[in-house]
Structure formats: structure tokens, C-alpha cells
Amino acid sequence: MKKQATNVRQHIIDVARTLITHKGYSAVGLAEIVKAAGIPKGSFYYYFRSKEEFAEALLEHYFTHYLVQVEEQLRGSEPARERLLRYFAFWKATQGADLPESKCLVVKLGAEVCDQYDSMRSVLAKGTLEIIGRITACIQQGQNDGSLSANRDAEALAEELYQLWLGASLMAKIHEPEQAFDKAMSATKRLLA
């Protein structure tokens, strides 16, 4: 793909992410995406064979970008427990903010698309496993540096923490965001004690 084509393809993904973050996958039509991107409808099909293929590309782009952020939060010279708490503080800050570009697409699209689209469920499954893998590695580092108990299965703990924060993100949409994330942070500190 030429550089121009790559830029247009990425532009479509970037513009549509804001729309889909606000409204969801099903509520955003192709006409709305191409209008917001400022391209003809036929051009959309040059870059994506279908809206479903587009959504897969959107999710893949989201995970690629998000995994870089996860790694930034989890790396450093301080004890791994502190790095994990920094990551979850980052989660609270980004998911608690009213910025569409920082919202978690797993929370937004997971329940909506998983029952209907196997290909999107597959992208979500792969991406979430990669996030859990990064958390697992940091927990193992904490078990090695003594900042975390070695008596817990690192992967099971990572999965529990990730699910806790996904749930908090969902509850933050329903109830008071600050309270949902504060409760998740308290539970995280207990789990990492």
C-alpha cells in the first residue's frame, strides 16, 4: 500500500474511533463514517472490504497503541508492585476522563460485538490476552524482586486484576466513575499486598 493510501486508511480509523467510542459499533453507519472522514463511500471499500473488516482493523490498531501504553506504565526500575499500581492509576485517569480517544474499546464493544461477530471477538480475545500477558510478566518480576507474594499464580492474578478493572470501567459508565475506580484501586492494593 502506498504511503497516501496508508494515511487515508489510518485517517478513516482515527475518525471512526471517536464515533464508535461515543455511539457503539451498531449505531454508527457506514455513511456516517465516510462523511466524518471526508471520503466517498466507494473509497471506504478500497481500504476495507466490509464494515466488519474495518472494525477488526480499528480494534487491532487500538490494541497496538494501547499495548505500548501498558508497557510504558509497567517498565521502570522501581519495584514491580509500584509499576502495577502506576498502570492502574493510569487506567483510572484515562477511563475516568471524558476523552473518546482514551476510552477502552474492550469495554465499549466487547458485549456488543462478541455474540455477533466471531472475527471481532477473536481480535478482542487476542488483544486482552496480550494485556494480561504484560501484567503477568510484571507480577512475575514483583515476585522475583520481593515486592509481591510468590504464593500466588501470576497469570491467575493478572487475569483477576484485568477483569476487576474492566468491571470497574463498566460500573463507571453506570454509576459514579470516581467511586468505581477508587473501589477497584482499593481491591487492587489488597490483591497485591
- List the CATH number of the domain containing 99: 1.10.357.10
In the numeric block, the cell 492502574 is attached to: 88
**CB distance 134 to 67 below 8 Å:** yes
pLDDT at position 1: 45
- pLDDT of residue 3 exceeding 70: no
Helix, strand counts (H, E) of the chain: 9, 0
Is residue 41 pLDDT above 90, yes or no?
no
In a domain, 140, yes or no: yes
Position 3 in a domain: no
Q: Which amino acid type is present at position 174?
A: I
Report the distance separating Cα 173 and Cα 98, nearest Å: 11
Domain count for the chain: 1
In a domain, 21, yes or no: no
Which of 141, 124, 119, 126 lies closest to 74 in space, CA to CA? 141
Q: Is 46 part of any domain?
A: no
For residues 84-107, average pLDDT:
82
Query: Is residue 41 in some structural domain?
Result: no
Domain membership flag for residue 22: no
- Is the separation of the CB atoms in 30 and 51 below 8 Å? yes
Residue 98 resides in a domain? yes
Q: Give the helix, strand, coil percentages of the chain, each rounded to 5.
A: 80, 0, 20
Owning domain of residue 163: 51-191
Write the pLDDT tens digit of every residue in 119-131.
Answer: 889 999 999 999 9
Give the angle 77-85-74 at the CA atoms, nearest 5°: 45
Structural domain contains residue 4: no
pLDDT over 60 at 72, yes or no: yes
Distance between CA atoms of residues 139 and 153, nearest Å:
9
